[in-house]
Amino acid sequence: MSLRFTDKVAIVTGAGRGIGKAIARRLASEGAKVVICDIDKESAEKTAEEIRKEFATEALALFVDVADENSVNAMVGEVIKAFGKIDILVNNAGITRDDLLLRMSVEDWDKVISVNLKSVFLCTKAVARHMVRQRFGRIVNISSVIGLRGNVGQTNYGASKAGIIGFTKSAARELAGRNITVNAVAPGYISTEMTEKLPNELKEQMLRQVPLGRPGQPEDVAGVVAFLCSDDASYITGEIIRVDGGMAM
Ligand SMILES: NC(=O)c1ccc[n+]([C@@H]2O[C@H](COP(=O)([O-])OP(=O)(O)OC[C@H]3O[C@@H](n4cnc5c(N)ncnc54)[C@H](O)[C@@H]3O)[C@@H](O)[C@H]2O)c1
């Protein structure tokens, strides 16, 4: 495989495991220097070590709480200190706190909106400052098919993921003049720890809605993110690509 990201510096949030880890591995496999940042520092360290062993590139593990402005700014400062620039940002960190609307607590609403949506604003703002100066940047936000079509028990999650789509389009318009693209990927049912914890009945029900008949793998999402970060996608901005086996068409 050709190395599409040689000399590029990429930050992936929530990259200690799951989809974020697959994205970091994919970018590293194609030559990017990757920053694995996660609120779980231990898993970030483990992933970075794995990448350093497996691929001929640099991988830096950093703690970040993406919902906290000071933490995000400190993380971005560390990256600039280590690598001098940032070319790619993948806003991947996300959580669920599911409950029916009438039972949902204000805490669970606020938490999901902060970790999934406010985070995208904080990280993009902190990184875009540097991208604007270098007149190059690739930003990819991880939304969800739930942001497109909704789901019972996920009003907070659905609102956060739909919010990401609105943010993506506005940021794409604002930053286009500086050669910075901003796109989003909307995964469907992907096999990770986030979906592993769901009851079997719900998993089977979700699977029945997938025309391709299988859950997606984190690598299915990583390939599309890598495409959006590559030169092949340099004329794509403000786009939302579903990676869902046809689930939400
Ligand atoms: N798995 C799916 O089916 C699916 C579908 C659609 C969208 N998504 C989205 O993809 C992204 C990744 O999902 P996943 O399935 O890999 O989840 P996951 O739970 O396996 O991994 C999420 C990672 O984010 C980290 N994280 C959580 N809160 C954080 C915070 N405040 N600051 C920094 N890091 C934090 C976690 O420690 C973890 O390493 C999420 O945004 C999720 O909403 C997942």
Atom 23 of ligand 1, residue of closest alpha carbon = 14
List beta partners, residue 154.
Answer: 99
Q: Measured in whole angstroms, how far is the alpha carbon of residue 71 from the centre of its chain?
A: 17
Q: Where are the alpha helices (DSSP H) in 114-217?
A: 119-134, 146-149, 155-175, 193-196, 200-208
The average confidence (pLDDT) of the chain is: 97
Over residues 91-138, the pLDDT tens digits come to 999 999 999 999 999 999 999 999 999 999 999 999 999 999 999 999
Ligand 1, residues at Cβ distance < 6 Å:
13-14, 16-20, 38-40, 43, 64-67, 92-95, 115, 142, 144, 187, 189-190, 192-195
**Minimum-distance ligand 1 atom for the alpha carbon of 43:** 39
Residue 90 banded pLDDT, cuts 50, 70, 90: very high
Over residues 33-48, the pLDDT tens digits come to 999 999 999 999 999 9
CA angle 18, 117, 142 (to 5 degrees): 40
- pLDDT at residue 244, as a whole number: 98
**Minimum-distance ligand 1 atom for the alpha carbon of 16:** 39
Closest CA to 178 of 132, 125, 235: 132
Residue 171 banded pLDDT, cuts 50, 70, 90: very high
Q: Is the pLDDT of residue 221 over 60?
A: yes
- pLDDT at residue 1, as a whole number: 54
Which of 157, 160, 181, 183 does the annotation list as catalytic? 157
- By three-state DSSP, how is residue 50 classified? helix
Alpha-carbon distance 171 to 73, whole Å? 19
Residue 222 banded pLDDT, cuts 50, 70, 90: very high
Q: What spacing in Å lies between the alpha carbon of 177 and ligand 1's midpoint?
A: 31
Q: Is 157 a catalytic residue?
A: yes
CATH fold of the domain at 9-243: Rossmann fold (3.40.50)
Over residues 174-211, the pLDDT tens digits come to 999 999 999 999 999 999 999 998 899 989 999 999 99
The residues, any chain, with a CB within 8 Å of residue 131's CB and separated by 6 or more, are: 86, 87, 89, 137, 139, 175, 178, 180
Q: pTM of this prediction? A: 0.98
Q: What spacing in Å lies between the alpha carbon of 194 and ligand 1's midpoint?
A: 7
